[in-house]
Amino acid sequence: MPGEMDKPLISRHLVDSDGSLTEALSQGPKVGILGSGDFARSLATRLVGSGFGVVVGSRNPKRTAGLFPAAAQVTFQAEAVSSPEVIFVAVFREHYTSLCGLSDQLAGKILVDVSNPTEQQHLQHRQSNAEYLASLFPACTVVKAFNVISAWTLQAGPRDGNRQVPICSDQLEAKRSVSEMVRAMGFTPVDMGSLASAREVEAMPLRLLPGWKVPTLLALGLFICFYAYNFTRDVLQPYVQEGRNKFYKLPVSVVNTTLPCVAYVLLSLVYLPGVLAAALQLHRGTKYQRFPDWLDHWLQHRKQIGLLSFFCASLHALYSFCLPLLRSTRYDVVNLAIKQVLANKSHLWVEEEVWRMEIYLSLGVLALGTLSLLAVTSLPSIANSLNWREFSFFQSTLGFVALVLSTLHTLTYGWTRAFEESRYKFYLPPTFTLTLLVPCVVILAKGLFLLPCFRRRLAKIRRGWEKDGTVKFMLPVDHVLAEKTSHV
Amino acid sequence: MPGEMDKPLISRHLVDSDGSLTEALSQGPKVGILGSGDFARSLATRLVGSGFGVVVGSRNPKRTAGLFPAAAQVTFQAEAVSSPEVIFVAVFREHYTSLCGLSDQLAGKILVDVSNPTEQQHLQHRQSNAEYLASLFPACTVVKAFNVISAWTLQAGPRDGNRQVPICSDQLEAKRSVSEMVRAMGFTPVDMGSLASAREVEAMPLRLLPGWKVPTLLALGLFICFYAYNFTRDVLQPYVQEGRNKFYKLPVSVVNTTLPCVAYVLLSLVYLPGVLAAALQLHRGTKYQRFPDWLDHWLQHRKQIGLLSFFCASLHALYSFCLPLLRSTRYDVVNLAIKQVLANKSHLWVEEEVWRMEIYLSLGVLALGTLSLLAVTSLPSIANSLNWREFSFFQSTLGFVALVLSTLHTLTYGWTRAFEESRYKFYLPPTFTLTLLVPCVVILAKGLFLLPCFRRRLAKIRRGWEKDGTVKFMLPVDHVLAEKTSHV
Amino acid sequence: MPGEMDKPLISRHLVDSDGSLTEALSQGPKVGILGSGDFARSLATRLVGSGFGVVVGSRNPKRTAGLFPAAAQVTFQAEAVSSPEVIFVAVFREHYTSLCGLSDQLAGKILVDVSNPTEQQHLQHRQSNAEYLASLFPACTVVKAFNVISAWTLQAGPRDGNRQVPICSDQLEAKRSVSEMVRAMGFTPVDMGSLASAREVEAMPLRLLPGWKVPTLLALGLFICFYAYNFTRDVLQPYVQEGRNKFYKLPVSVVNTTLPCVAYVLLSLVYLPGVLAAALQLHRGTKYQRFPDWLDHWLQHRKQIGLLSFFCASLHALYSFCLPLLRSTRYDVVNLAIKQVLANKSHLWVEEEVWRMEIYLSLGVLALGTLSLLAVTSLPSIANSLNWREFSFFQSTLGFVALVLSTLHTLTYGWTRAFEESRYKFYLPPTFTLTLLVPCVVILAKGLFLLPCFRRRLAKIRRGWEKDGTVKFMLPVDHVLAEKTSHV
């Protein structure tokens, strides 16, 4: 991506040409800022750049004045808050009480709380910073905003970064004024409801991929289980029962039999909750009843599970392509040739093995290709350009095709091995047989729902029909529609 | 992508804290809603959440009231439509006539048609729902909007999804009012012109990747033809003429000789229409004359054709990397070793074969790498960050480099095989010779246009010069510029 | 991406149904256009479509009228500029003086300069087109806007393309009016400050990936150096000292030993400047002092360097997967088998070689997988959906993991070779030992900064603490925060 827009052009121009702008800026509406840290300064720079008149309130204006752009007026706190209607409070929560002396001047005004708690503070206080500020200044309207924006983004302008500024307040008119300011500053306001959401809004910058936690742990858990299982079958059993050292298989070979299992099971877990939800809707005869929480969460995480499945499948492909590079593979081929020569056999060919390998590799490539289409269409910029029908074509139809291709890939890989006793090492069945369980359930259930009796009833329910028509105010739990945002 | 924004925060807050909001909401402008289905309810929830006063008109307000958020006022239809200026009509087309009794109260108001026809209805009625509504209420202004948004997105808010709401109406002022509402609700209005476009707007959610249909069929057609050709040469001929069973080649080997042909021909078809358009402009001596429809469509689908070419090329790479994994390859190597030993030859080395393979593989990797840059820069979020010069650098210059690299890859793969009689099985020339035709024409034509005489004239035409200067109102058919949106 | 939005719907509707619109349009605010080229016409079409009344000023209205949509009024220049407040100047710089006769009528109005200089003109004139226009019409307010938008995008509407319209002017009120128009036309205004930025704005469409120039040259330089080095060691030395022809290695093998070196060194160069910046901040004891220019530029280009590193690593993977496909590999295996048979050895196995290869391949795959996550999260649409903590998790934490994995990949690839005399061909150390230098410095320094004494001081500095507390108006050089926009 070209970096052409990266430099903080606005601030520079404004800082460079203060003189000429100072006059012009007196035209814009006036806003106040309390505080003199990095954020307050960047805020002042940005507000000045967006055409607002800025008055900064400081306890020591002389010392502070040099810290702010020349176009901003720096004065004593009491004076600064007297004329503007909107005042940004850019001080730490622990200093909120120091502003209490201003409560008379602030009465009736809009206070914008821009603060962010540290993780520790967030856990310690049940009350959000904004609600605490509101409790200190009951005569003011508190609006939470701008906390997700960094001082640097304020300076540089919202060129490439995320422009969304979540806003919440109990007073609609105040929310609307601040939204207008947000827009004027080049950001996009997002209404988050009443001030009760402030805690949630303050938690946003503290979040670390919340939607990925459970899916990633799930994938890791599956990896560890399957790795242990494959280790037992492929390395431990030969060592214990035949005394053969196959520990060299640990870094590549065992990983590469584990990865497809994880990818395959994860893919089936993307489609299992949809099947369960449909079954539940069929059973209940309505779509207006909430799903149990675990199912709801599962449905919300399908996208992440699907992308992890694709990641594992891609690693599986990379590991597979590494196999012929391995020294062990080379030695195997050479040793096979030597064995054939010593046994005086002139031609080696096992038709069944050839066919098995050709078919399952071809199916594997096709499954990966299909999955990659799913992954690409789940990129935000592409997903947003699809209508619902197109999105569901990719995620439902094509995703199901990928599941069927993976199942065929697994079955042809297994071939007749599930029925050969020699494959049951330590009495453990081959790994691929274990992985087939969930996918086959999903495929069978999907098939069942295509039967006319179920399909018709399901369609009726999803159009809003109910077994017993006593609807109260319940928004539809329309996860078929919800898939657009929550799915791969 | 983190799921943090996925939950329908707004609706929840609004639903939870109805009491406190109800008062506040009386401040916002009032809008009416006719209808009580899922969409009407989600619409009400969203409008309430965006600060509008909502009056729902129902034929049975008592029964319906429980279905809507408490902040929305539910009353009889006639009462509901009396005061608001804008009324959402959220009922099915077949019930439009049931509203005719309200036509006096509705006179002079703005009716927003949010309906979507089913595919069947869309084919059946020549008149769009919105135009039909307009014909029923000639005294009202009908605006088509919101039909592309699902009930769920309305509830959850337009966080990640597509925010664009196409709007059309014959009355500009009405369009502007509704656009303002769309914006206030967090969506992005897109002006689609007069109400005559309503049919088009109503078709949007019914569309299934319209731009991909022809290119995909083209790719499939090419695949089938080349597959049949390769099957005849690589499998049928040995079976018929030499009695050798090579059917095991069907799943991987034949597919892998077919895919590069498809990818290569598709890539050349991306650049052929540009060459034809330039030739046509040279011949006509103007850029203000429309291209024939087939050429226009072809030019519009270059992006899709190019991405399909990249997809086939990637699959070709995956299949190629699978080749050494195949059992048949292993057997071939072993058998070769045995043969050498039995023939008492101690060293095997064919310098020419070694060079041929090294060169064509290296060129293949480079061609794929170049193509992947093209594919990445055609992602919407990246394409949007490029200026026209950068975009054309990637798509024209780098794309042409990819075509040249592919041609060299094909030529070095072919080496001298086109001139060996033994390669003409069933008198059919080697497949690669067939694929070279179109690309070579494109490369030659591109070279021709670089000659001063042609280049200068073309540049003049594209600056607006015309052979005979009788321009009428014709917007430029500026496909060199148009490439930014329509090209790979 | 579906092409559904690609067609210029708006313009078509407006052009088709001129009659009915003409009346309606008289409602919208009036704007003037001077000029009758492609851009003026597309501008008129778009303005008409967005509900503005358009008056086009021409020196020959009769001849020109047919060129514009019917809804636009075409008249003499003097008449056209009399009533509108905003006038678009869509003529070439060289014809600006021809408008001087209108200076009385234009006095006090807003002139929008939409022109783009050619590269030659841009280099020739120190004064931007907009400033030149302002100097010719001192009584007018000049606003620079729309120059980055092509005539075609104006016609077709800003559906998929970049919607950003950089705007600059010395007069805030004028900037605000034009911003409103930009928004009404469906684009997104971006404030670029005073008219002094016009030169910069005019340079935008001339830019060709400015952020990629140095990184690409760096990557190319590294490639050439390492290629020459590897050529000397792997091809020249055997030829000169042993008379063995290994020139066949040039296209694949030497490239494939060069690519990982380039990728690895580039990746370490992504993390080196951060280490240097931290060291400098520690040394200076403040974050409010500008970094030297070279370091600043380096920090700004980390994203590009990182993506080039990923590109090289991906090519390295592709080339590696090609190795088993090579004829030379096949001959090597066959010849090895022959040698074994002739030497009467029945089993070939070198445990150490097997382990070395298994481990370094596995590490390589994991490093590439980690890098691919970094690359994906640097896509604009994904980067924008991450908060700062998540972004830094991917780019700092995961990026560092990738660097460590690559280092381990390199070390296990090298194994004991650095200590074997036979590896020092022409007294040149093995290539991998050279590449280890920078990465090891980075890893060590990162380790050092984790020591409590350094970590605490650094944390203090980044919170705003200063060794000597004499802060003047200096915005923070907060590159830890700046990483969000400037980093991989």
Task: Please give the residue that has the higher pLDDT: either C229 or C66.
Answer: C229
- Is A49 at the interface with chain C, CB within 8 A? yes
Asked if A176's CB is within 8 angstroms of B51's CB, the reply is yes
Listed by number, the residues of chain B in 178-207 with a beta carbon closer than 8 Å to a beta carbon of chain A are: 186, 204-207
- Measured between alpha carbons, how far is residue C70 from residues B71, C17, C33, C50, C289 in Å? 47, 9, 15, 15, 59
CA distance B37 to B41: 6
* Cβ-Cβ contacts under 8 Å, C311 against chain B: 369
How do residues B80-123 score in pLDDT, each as one tens digit?
A: 999 999 999 999 999 999 999 999 999 999 999 999 888 888 88
- Is A422 at the interface with chain B, CB within 8 A? no
C-alpha angle B213-B219-B225 in degrees, rounded to nearest 5: 130
Asked if B20's CB is within 8 angstroms of A170's CB, the reply is yes
Give first-to-last CA distance, chain C, whole Å. 25
Other chains touching C, judged by 3 or more CB pairs under 8 Å: A, B
Nearest to A152 by CA among C294, C268, C299: C299
| pLDDT score of A138 | 95
Burial tier of A427 (Cβ tally within 10 Å: 0-12, 13-18, 19+): exposed
- Measured between alpha carbons, how far is residue C461 from residues C228, C284, C454, C458, C478 in Å? 45, 10, 11, 5, 10
How do residues C418-446 score in pLDDT, each as one tens digit?
A: 888 888 888 899 999 999 999 999 999 99
Residue A126's region, left for phi above 0, alpha for psi from -120 to 50, else beta, is alpha
How do residues B258-279 score in pLDDT, each as one tens digit?
A: 999 999 999 999 999 999 999 9
* Phi and psi torsions of C351, nearest 5°: -50, -45
Distance (Å) from the alpha carbon of A392 to chain B's nearest alpha carbon: 10
Nearest CA in chain C to B302: C3
Domain B212-463 = CATH 1.20.120? yes
Task: Please give the residue that has the higher pLDDT: either B464 or B296.
Answer: B296
Asked if C194's CB is within 8 angstroms of A45's CB, the reply is no
Testing the interface with C: which of A17, A164, A248 to mutate, by most C Cβ within 10 A?
A: A248
- Against a cut of 0.80, is the pTM above it? yes
- Is C341 at the interface with chain A, CB within 8 A? yes
Nearest to A409 by CA among A370, A453, A360, A374: A360
- Is B220 at the interface with chain A, CB within 8 A? no
How do residues B394-426 score in pLDDT, each as one tens digit?
A: 988 999 999 999 999 999 999 888 888 888 888
Least confident range from C82-96, C122-136, C165-179: namely: C165-179
> Number of residue pairs across A and C with CB atoms under 8 Å?
236
Nearest to A314 by CA among A358, A233, A249, A374: A374
| pLDDT score of B471 | 53
* Cβ-Cβ contacts under 8 Å, C296 against chain A: none
Give the one of C4, C9, C27 whose C-beta lies nearest to B193's C-beta.
Answer: C9
| pLDDT score of B393 | 92
Nearest to B166 by CA among B137, B141, B139, B195: B195
| pLDDT score of A479 | 45
How do residues B309-338 score in pLDDT, each as one tens digit?
A: 999 999 999 999 999 999 999 999 999 999
How do residues A433-447 score in pLDDT, each as one tens digit?
A: 999 999 999 999 999
Token pair listed for B356: 């041929």
* Cβ-Cβ contacts under 8 Å, C462 against chain A: none
How do residues B349-359 score in pLDDT, each as one tens digit?
A: 999 999 999 99
Give the one of C250, C322, C334 whose C-beta lies nearest to B337's C-beta.
Answer: C334
Task: Please give the residue that has the higher pLDDT: either A269 or C287.
Answer: A269
| pLDDT score of C4 | 33
Listed by number, the residues of chain C in 273-312 with a beta carbon closer than 8 Å to a beta carbon of chain A are: 300-301, 303-304
CA distance B184 to B51: 8
Asked if A347's CB is within 8 angstroms of B338's CB, the reply is yes
Give the one of B345, B359, B382 whose C-beta lies nearest to C251's C-beta.
Answer: B359
> Number of residue pairs across A and B with CB atoms under 8 Å?
236
In whole numbers, what is the pLDDT of chain B averaged over residues? 86
- Is C252 at the interface with chain A, CB within 8 A? no
| pLDDT score of A417 | 85
Count the Cβ atoms, other than its own, within 10 Å of residue B128. 26
- Is A373 at the interface with chain C, CB within 8 A? no
Asked if A300's CB is within 8 angstroms of B6's CB, the reply is yes
CA distance C354 to A326: 7
* Cβ-Cβ contacts under 8 Å, A1 against chain B: 382, 385
Three-state SS string across B239-275, please?
HHHHCCCCHHHHHHHHHHHHHHHHHHHHHHHHHHHHH
- Is B365 at the interface with chain A, CB within 8 A? no
* Cβ-Cβ contacts under 8 Å, C172 against chain A: 21, 24-25, 27-28, 51
Give the one of C193, C362, C482 whose C-beta lies nearest to A10's C-beta.
Answer: C193
Report domain B30-203's class.
alpha beta
- Measured between alpha carbons, how far is residue B475 from residues B32, C43, C58 in Å? 42, 11, 18
Burial tier of C188 (Cβ tally within 10 Å: 0-12, 13-18, 19+): middle
User: CA dihedral in degrees (B185, B188, B194, B195; nearest 10)?
Assistant: -50
CA distance B344 to B361: 31
Token pair listed for C335: 């010849």
* pLDDT tier, B386 (very low <50, low <70, confident <90, very high otherwise): confident
Give the mean pLDDT of C125-150.
93
How do residues B11-64 score in pLDDT, each as one tens digit?
A: 333 333 333 333 333 456 899 999 988 889 989 988 887 778 999 998 888 888
* Cβ-Cβ contacts under 8 Å, B314 against chain C: none
pLDDT of B5 > 50? The answer is no
Listed by number, the residues of chain C in 112-141 with a beta carbon closer than 8 Å to a beta carbon of chain A are: none
A110-113, strands of its sheet edge to edge: A73-76, A53-58, A30-34, A86-89, A110-113, A141-144, A164-169, A188-191
Give the one of A311, A325, A334 whose C-beta lies nearest to C337's C-beta.
Answer: A334
| pLDDT score of A363 | 97
What lies within 8 Å, CB to CB, of C45 at 6+ separation is B475, C11, C14, C15, C69, C154, C155
CA distance C394 to A208: 10
| pLDDT score of B263 | 98
Ranges of residues in chain A with a pLDDT under 50 are 1-26, 479-488
* Cβ-Cβ contacts under 8 Å, A251 against chain C: 358-359, 361-362
Asked if C157's CB is within 8 angstroms of B190's CB, the reply is yes
pLDDT of B222 > 80? The answer is yes
Asked if A68's CB is within 8 angstroms of C389's CB, the reply is no
pLDDT of B195 > 50? The answer is yes
Contact B453, B427 (CB under 8 A): no
How do residues B285-298 score in pLDDT, each as one tens digit?
A: 888 788 899 998 99
Least confident range from A279-283, B477-481, C118-122: namely: B477-481
Nearest CA in chain B to A483: B152
Asked if A6's CB is within 8 angstroms of C211's CB, the reply is yes
Token pair listed for B74: 């539910």
- Is A227 at the interface with chain C, CB within 8 A? no
> Number of residue pairs across B and C with CB atoms under 8 Å?
236
Nearest to B250 by CA among B269, B231, B229: B231
Domain ranges of chain B: 30-203, 212-463
Distance (Å) from the alpha carbon of B322 to chain A's nearest alpha carbon: 7
Asked if B347's CB is within 8 angstroms of C338's CB, the reply is yes
* Cβ-Cβ contacts under 8 Å, A204 against chain C: 387
